[in-house]
């Protein structure tokens, strides 16, 4: 009986709707790079960088892997723990990769302050609005009626995933926005990520300590690898609470050391004796140095201090 169930679980199930989504994403990337970009970017400037191309490829591959067979089918029909891994990918990993893949010129076209959509995107990506929207979506999508109905109704299932993915894109904008003015400072990013790591621990803890099945759609006799419904549920809670938490804290640690390293360069010994005001201000990831900026810095610095 167990072997028969195993064979049924691993049956191949095609998902042409997923292939269509992936094809549209790849097609959009090709159009941006080869059609729109050359018209929008000045001659001699790269349409996209090599790093942005790598981010895009990795994001597309992860989106495909998390949405197609077998992860999609196992997460939807058998193991809530696998569903939680899928959830982590489409909220914490794939959205920031896509944002890192977007060149600044394209982001300015999409988020133009002159357009209605641009105005709304700028409002919704403010830290408070983005955090509230994302965490409300996370809380709602883990309610029992929502989980049960989303598994039973394919259309609603995709609506839930699209809503969470969109909310995640907005949530990540204060951290990895292609537009410098929409990113928070390093301390702001760290506080923002910390606050966003707190609320998901609540449903995660609830899943971990529950000793009865919470979602009836996962409470059936066909068990993958012999994992019981309660054990699967507890694993999902640990993935949400610890896996997501460790991931966010790793990013916070990275941002902290990046911030400290930048301050060390700015406040190195002797710098206060040479320059009494910032020579020039640059963005976190757009340190484009120009001759005019260097000349202006030297003019403000004055004569060099003689060494004793």
- Per-residue confidence (pLDDT) for residue 9, from 0 to 100: 78
Cβ neighbours of residue 11 under 8 Å, at least 6 residues apart? none
Judgement on whether residues 175 and 292 belong to the same structural domain of the protein: no
Judgement on whether residues 249 and 198 belong to the same structural domain of the protein: yes
For the stretch 267-293, pLDDT in tens is 765 544 444 444 334 344 444 444 455
Using CA atoms, how far apart are residues 66 and 63, in angstroms rounded to an integer? 5
Judgement on whether residues 186 and 59 belong to the same structural domain of the protein: yes
Quote the number of domains for the chain. 2
Using CA atoms, how far apart are residues 207 and 143, in angstroms rounded to an integer? 11
Asked if residue 305 has pLDDT above 60, the reply is no
Judgement on whether residues 162 and 290 belong to the same structural domain of the protein: no
Mean pLDDT in residue range 145-170: 94
| Domain-embedded: residue 307 | no
Judgement on whether residues 292 and 212 belong to the same structural domain of the protein: no
- Per-residue confidence (pLDDT) for residue 122, from 0 to 100: 93
| Domain-embedded: residue 147 | yes
For the stretch 58-104, pLDDT in tens is 999 999 999 999 999 999 989 999 999 999 999 999 999 999 999 99
Structural domain containing residue 155: 2-266
pTM, two decimals, is 0.83
Mean pLDDT in residue range 141-159: 92
Count of all residues that appear for the chain in the document: 308
Judgement on whether residues 294 and 186 belong to the same structural domain of the protein: no
Using CA atoms, how far apart are residues 63 and 106, in angstroms rounded to an integer? 21
| Domain-embedded: residue 306 | no
Judgement on whether residues 203 and 280 belong to the same structural domain of the protein: no
Judgement on whether residues 204 and 288 belong to the same structural domain of the protein: no
Alpha helices, DSSP H, located in the chain: 2-9, 16-31, 37-40, 50-67, 71-77, 80-88, 94-101, 104-110, 116-124, 127-140, 144-152, 154-176, 186-198, 201-209, 229-238, 244-266, 271-274, 291-301
């Amino acid at each position: 009986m167990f072997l028969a169930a195993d064979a049924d679980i691993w049956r191949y199930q095609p998902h042409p709707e997923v292939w269509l989504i992936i094809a549209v994403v790849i097609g959009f990337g090709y159009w941006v790079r080869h059609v729109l970009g050359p018209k929008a970017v000045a001659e001699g400037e790269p349409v996209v960088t090599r790093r942005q191309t790598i981010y895009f490829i990795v994001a597309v591959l992860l989106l495909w892997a998390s949405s197609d067979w077998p992860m999609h089918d196992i997460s939807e029909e058998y193991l809530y723990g696998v569903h939680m891994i899928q959830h982590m990918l489409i909220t914490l990993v794939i959205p920031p990769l896509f944002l890192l893949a977007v060149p600044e010129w394209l982001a300015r076209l999409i988020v133009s302050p002159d357009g209605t959509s641009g105005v709304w995107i700028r409002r919704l990506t403010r830290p408070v609005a983005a955090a509230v929207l994302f965490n409300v979506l996370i809380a709602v999508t883990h309610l029992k009626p929502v989980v049960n109905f989303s598994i039973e109704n394919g259309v609603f299932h995709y609506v839930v995933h699209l809503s969470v993915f969109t909310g995640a894109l907005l949530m990540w904008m204060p951290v990895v926005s292609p537009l410098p003015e929409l990113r928070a400072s390093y301390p702001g990013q760290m506080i923002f990520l910390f606050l966003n790591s707190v609320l998901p621990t609540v449903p995660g803890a609830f899943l971990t300590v529950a000793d009865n099945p919470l979602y009836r759609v996962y409470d059936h006799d066909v068990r993958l690898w012999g994992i019981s419904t309660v054990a699967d549920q507890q694993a999902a809670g640990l993935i949400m609470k610890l896996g997501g938490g460790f991931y966010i804290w790793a990013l916070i640690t990275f941002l902290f050391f990046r911030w400290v390293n930048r301050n060390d360069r700015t406040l190195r010994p002797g710098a206060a004796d040479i320059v009494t005001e910032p020579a020039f201000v640059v963005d976190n990831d757009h340190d484009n140095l120009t001759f005019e900026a260097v000349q202006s810095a030297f003019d403000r610095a004055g004569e060099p201090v003689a060494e004793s």
